[in-house]
Every structure is written in C-alpha cells, then in structure tokens.
Amino acid sequence: MQLRLNLPPLTRILLIVLGGTSIIYQVVRLNDWTPPHDPSFLALVPQWALFRPWVYFTATFAEQNVVTLLIAGITLFYGGKYLERAWDSREFGKFVLLVTLTPNFVASLLYVLWFAITRDDDTAWTTIQGSVALQAAFLVAFKQLVPEHTVTILKGVVKIRVKHFPSIFLVANTLSGFLLGTDTALVLAWLGFLTSWTYLRFYKTQTDLSGASTGGVKIRGDASETFAFAYFWPDVVQPPIAAFADGIYNALVALRICTPFSAEDVESGNEQATARGEGGLPSLLSPGSRRGGGGKREEAERRRALALKALDQRLHAATTNRQQPPSTASANPNPSEEQPPTGDSPSEANRS
C-alpha cells in the first residue's frame, strides 16, 4: 500500500531541507573536513557569519544529534502542516524566513558583543544552530490561533492548553541555559518568541473573519486582548508584566516605531479571536477532520469568556478615569456658583 503523507508543498520542502542539512552537517563534522574552530559551513559561528551569510538560514536546520533532529522533524511535520493550511504557503514561507533569519542574526550580534566585553575566545567561536527559535515561533502562532485548545498527553493523564506552551517552553530553556549551560538554546528560544509575537501582533495581515466586512478585507496585526504580551504568562504575574510591556510599548509609540492600536482595532481583534474559536480546531494529526464538536464549542466558550473578561476590565478602567474629573470639580466648584444671587447684585454690577 502506498504511503500518503498529505503534506503541503512548503512543509514538505522544509522537511527535506532539515534532513539533508543535518546529514551533511554530521558527515562534515564527523570526518573533520573543516579547519579548527570552524565546525562547518552550515552552522552559524559569529566570527565567520558575515563571510558566510547563508548560515543565518541553514543553521536552523543543522541539528546536532538524532534527538534534536526528531524534535525538529515533528515540529515541522505537524506544526508546518497546520500553519501552512491555516495561512497559505506564501504567508507561511514569510513567517518561516522571518523567525529563522532574525533570531540567528540577532544572536550572532549578541555573542560578538559579549566577546567584545569579556574577551572570551570561547564566546567568539560559539556554534549557533538548531530549530529552537522555530519551535518557539510555532508555539506563539498556535497561541494566537487556538489558545484554548487542550492537548492531551499520556492518554489523558496530562492535559495542557495550547496557550500555556510558549511560557513552559521559555521557562524550560531558560532553566536549561543557566543550569546545563545550553545558553544558545536560551537565546534562540527568547528571540524566536519575541520575533514571532512582534510580527503576528503588529505586522502580519489576515482576512477579516468576524463577518463585519465583506470582500476579503485584510486586517493588519492582532490587537485582541488575549494576544497581549502579558497573557502569555500565569494570572499571578500578569499585572507587573503588563506594566513593563506597556512601558516599552508606549516608548516605541513615542518614537514612532509602533503604531498605537485604536479602540476599534482592539474590538476588531477580539471579534477575530472569537471567530477563530468558533471555527474550531481540526485535529493536528488529521487537519481535515471535523471530529470533536463538543471540544470546539468548549473552546469557543472559553475564548468568549476571556474576551468578555478583558473587555470588562477595560470598561471598568475607562469608567474610573471618566469619574475622576467630576470628583475634582466638586472639590473645586465653579466660582460663579460660590455666591448665591442677591437682590442688589444687579445694581452692584451697574456700579462696577
């Protein structure tokens, strides 16, 4: 029987690139065909990167061992298959290029800067490679598309909602970086997360799903409350994170790097999020299936409840701000109302 994987074209190409690049990298590395301090022409070494600019792309697909290769393959197989069908091949290709090139380029600059500060030779020859940034970016995309979908592991023993995966991934790589010395994974995880979120939040265009407009109107970015930076983290730490993120956002707006979201943008973003929730999530194992209607309804209800909660908080804050000026006015009344009118006031006015 013929095996049919039913993969979208770009996902299939990326899987071939991943397998081919990793195999060539291992062959070159194990046979020691390259000079000292230059492990290969496929991985990113900050000291050599400017002379080999293609490594900013190939380093993402040059895995070090079988375990990381399997993880990267699973990420591309399931994540790429879903995202390419959710967006289209062109948008998915732009997204992959952005979240591979940008984190690798910024990471190389950080290591060069760290070398300039510490003068540590090991830092200059650090090898940056692997699909960690791509994995973080995919998790952010799933957080946007299906945050309330529940992933069941070990036959229902462990249940985790998709919206929690980015923070879990970041915490795991951060702890590993400090405790196990996997600093490149730490840097790539955070850069992949920030690159993906910034692009999806402010720049990526998407079709209006709310039904408020016709003709395939495009919306730029995702201003929904549930995709704000603070909502990637547990409720306990959201207030301080929100204050910190708002400060950076206001500074970027003041510098005209970011365009502020209007109230209409936020409302439209919330409608988009609700529309995506009502559309449901096809199975990641078989994206064409429509099973689990109850799961879709539960997901839509959870998303609607989160949107209503965020809207209620905004309305409460707006009401509080509106009530503040009247209270000030009552404490300092209009001078014209301080003196009641008297019978001789007109004559006094005439004399004046």
Instruction: Produce one character per residue of 127-165: b if its CB has 16 or more CB atoms within 10 Å, e if not.
Output: bbbbbbbbbbbbbbbbbbbbbbbeeeeeeeeeeeebbbb
- What would the mean pLDDT of 44-58 be, rounded to a whole number? 89
Query: For the segment 115-125, what is each residue's pLDDT rounded down to a tens digit?
Result: 999 888 888 78
Task: Say what the pLDDT of residue 269 is.
Answer: 82
Task: Say what the pLDDT of residue 255 is.
Answer: 86
Q: Which range, of 14-23, 146-155, 286-295, averages the lowest pLDDT?
A: 286-295
Query: For the segment 87-128, what is each residue's pLDDT rounded down to a tens digit?
Result: 999 999 999 999 999 999 999 999 999 999 988 888 878 899
Task: Say what the pLDDT of residue 210 is.
Answer: 57
Task: Say what the pLDDT of residue 306 is.
Answer: 64
DSSP 254-302: HTTSSPPPPHHHHHHHHHHHHHHHHH----SSSTT----HHHHHHHHHH
Q: 319 pLDDT exceeds 80? A: no
- What would the mean pLDDT of 146-174 be, rounded to a whole number? 87
pLDDT grade for 328, boundaries at 50, 70 and 90 = very low
Tokens of 154: 């070990």
pLDDT grade for 220, boundaries at 50, 70 and 90 = confident
Cα within 13 Å of Cα(240), Cβ side: 3
Query: For the segment 230-253, what is each residue's pLDDT rounded down to a tens digit?
Result: 999 988 899 999 999 989 988 988
CB 98 within 8 A of CB 57: no
Task: Say what the pLDDT of residue 302 is.
Answer: 60
Tokens of 209: 């799903």
- What would the mean pLDDT of 284-308 be, rounded to a whole number? 52
Non-local (6+) Cβ contacts of 111 within 8 A are 46, 123, 124, 126, 128
Residue predicted with more confidence, 220 or 166: 166
Instruction: Produce one character per residue of 39-51: b if its CB has 16 or more CB atoms within 10 Å, e if not.
Output: bbbbbbbbbbbee
pLDDT grade for 74, boundaries at 50, 70 and 90 = very high
Residue with tokens 């709310």: 210
Q: Which amino acid is at 252?
A: L
Q: 81 pLDDT exceeds 70? A: yes
Non-local (6+) Cβ contacts of 186 within 8 A are 173, 174, 176, 177, 178
The model's pTM: 0.77
pLDDT grade for 297, boundaries at 50, 70 and 90 = low
Largest CA distance in the chain: 110
CB 186 within 8 A of CB 173: yes
Tokens of 250: 């206001």
Q: 73 pLDDT exceeds 80? A: yes
Query: For the segment 198-218, what is each residue's pLDDT rounded down to a tens digit?
Result: 999 998 887 766 555 445 567
Residue predicted with more confidence, 196 or 36: 196
Cα three-residue angle 278-280-281, rounded to 5 degrees: 155
Of 187, 177, 155, 148, the closest CA to residue 276 belongs to 148
